[in-house]
Chain A
Amino acid sequence: MIDLTPDAEQRFESYLTRMRAALRGSATGDDVEQSVREHVEVALGGVEGPVSADRLEPVLAQLGPPERWVSEDELPAWRRMMMRLSQGPEDWRLAYGSFALTLLMFVLMPIGGVLLLIPAYLVSRAFVEVLASRDEAIGARRWLVLPPVVIVMAIVTGIALIAPIGAAVSIGLRDLDDMFSTVARMRYDTGFLAMSAGVWWIVLAGIYSIVYRPYRAAFLPLTARLRRGHALVLTLVGAVFAAIGAVLLFVV
């Protein structure tokens, strides 16, 4: 063993720790450490007395930063994933973070895991913003990032489209247990449902035309093609339903 001053020993140990971290997961770790120790001993073999940190430094500098010794593709898959999470570009860290939260949400669903949908969605949004700032396409990372956006969009859109109709039905229709029980009731209930849906969707189209920008921004890139003009489609659908409802309620 080479005789090192306390400073040099501390410096060498810190270098070896860094090296172990860089080679973790590769099949060569222990063997390389032994070789590096031998390399340093041979390189400083002719030095009289304990080797100082100043004498050790050039040898370590020539060995170079251990992080550059092994290329990423030589490391096992779990290590590459960890590297991307800890050192990789921000977008990869966010993508894997979002995916991990979504996975955890499903695993912990019986004990309230659904709450993880909120952070998963926020991390996905951050990822989309990073890509947008770089004008970069989402590519294969969509499979890691988009599931929470799809789920939140489906919930928000579903509630916006249906919930007020449900409320109208529960307030406006009597004897809900007897819904569709007779021909007359079937006509009235269907008419009421169609009228409620139609009127609500016309109102919703108006709301959408005002708040379509935040709605579109909240669910990018899924809503990238959404325009204010789509409110007209919803208005037309609403008008058709309202007309059907009116016919069933007041004409037939």
Chain B
Amino acid sequence: MADSPFYVNWTTQLRKGLLELAILNVLGNDSLYGYDIVRLLSDVDGLVITEGTIYPILSRLRNEEYVETYMEESPNGPARKYYRLTAKGREELRRMNHHWQRLHESIGTLRKERKR
């Protein structure tokens, strides 16, 4: 069955909000360069439709000082730009994860109640 415009719009909006959370989470434990971030997120089913979408978000997160960048020499070519969370980004990620967790649980509870 073809996806309805409503479903397409809903998944697009959901993905848009979740991409920022996903990016901050992949940077939660490690510094990564752009290509690696894209590869990791592309492995999450249904999260990344066009890989290029991630770069404007990374750039915006950097402008808002949630992530910072530094250059590191690469043995395979020119220096690469690495991204890592700032203290501000780490704090925001903690709050976002907490909010997401509560939302996820609440939706789960709603679904269970409807099934009864």
Contacts and interface: CB of A to CB of B under 8 A. Distances in A.
**Do A and B share a complex?**
yes
Given A27-B60, A65-B50, A35 B55 contact: yes
Interface stretch (B72-80, B84-92, B93-101): B72-80
Nearest to B80: A38
A41 B30 CA distance: 22
Nearest to B38: A39
Nearest to B36: A42
Contacts of B49: 64, 68
Interface string A70-81: 110010000000
Interface string B29-57: 00001110010001000000111110110
Contacts of B33: 38, 42
A184 interface: no
A28 B59 contact: yes
Interface string A173-196: 000000000000000000000000
Contact of A71 (B16, B35, B38): B16
Interface of B is mostly: helix
B33 to A, nearest CB: 8
Interface string A59-72: 00011111011110
A66 B34 contact: no
A63 B59 CA distance: 16
B59 A69 contact: no
Contacts of B81: 34-35, 38
Contacts of B60: 27-28, 74
A32 B55 contact: yes
Given A1-B78, A35-B81, A45-B76, A68 B53 contact: yes
B58 interface: yes
A111 to B, nearest CB: 44
A35 B34 contact: yes
Contact of A42 (B50, B56, B58, B77): B77
A42 B52 CA distance: 14
Interface string B6-40: 00000000001000000000000000011100100
A39 B16 contact: no
B40 to A, nearest CB: 14
A26 B56 contact: yes
A64 B77 contact: no
B4 interface: no
B35 to A, nearest CB: 4
Contacts of B55: 28, 31-32, 35-36, 39, 69
Contacts of A36: 52, 55
A162 interface: no
Interface of A: 1, 19, 23, 26-28, 31-32, 34-36, 38-39, 41-43, 45, 62-66, 68-71, 74
14 contacts: A23-B56, A28-B60, A39-B35, A39-B51, A43-B35, A45-B77, A62-B51, A63-B50, A63-B52, A64-B51, A69-B52, A69-B55, A70-B56, A74-B56
> Which 7 pairs across A and B sit closest by C-beta, in order of nearness?
A64-B50, A28-B59, A63-B52, A31-B59, A42-B35, A35-B55, A32-B55
Given A38-B78, A70-B56, 11 more contacts: A19-B52, A26-B56, A28-B59, A35-B55, A43-B35, A45-B77, A62-B51, A63-B50, A64-B51, A66-B52, A74-B60
Interface of B: 16, 33-35, 38, 42, 49-53, 55-56, 58-60, 62-63, 76-78, 80-81
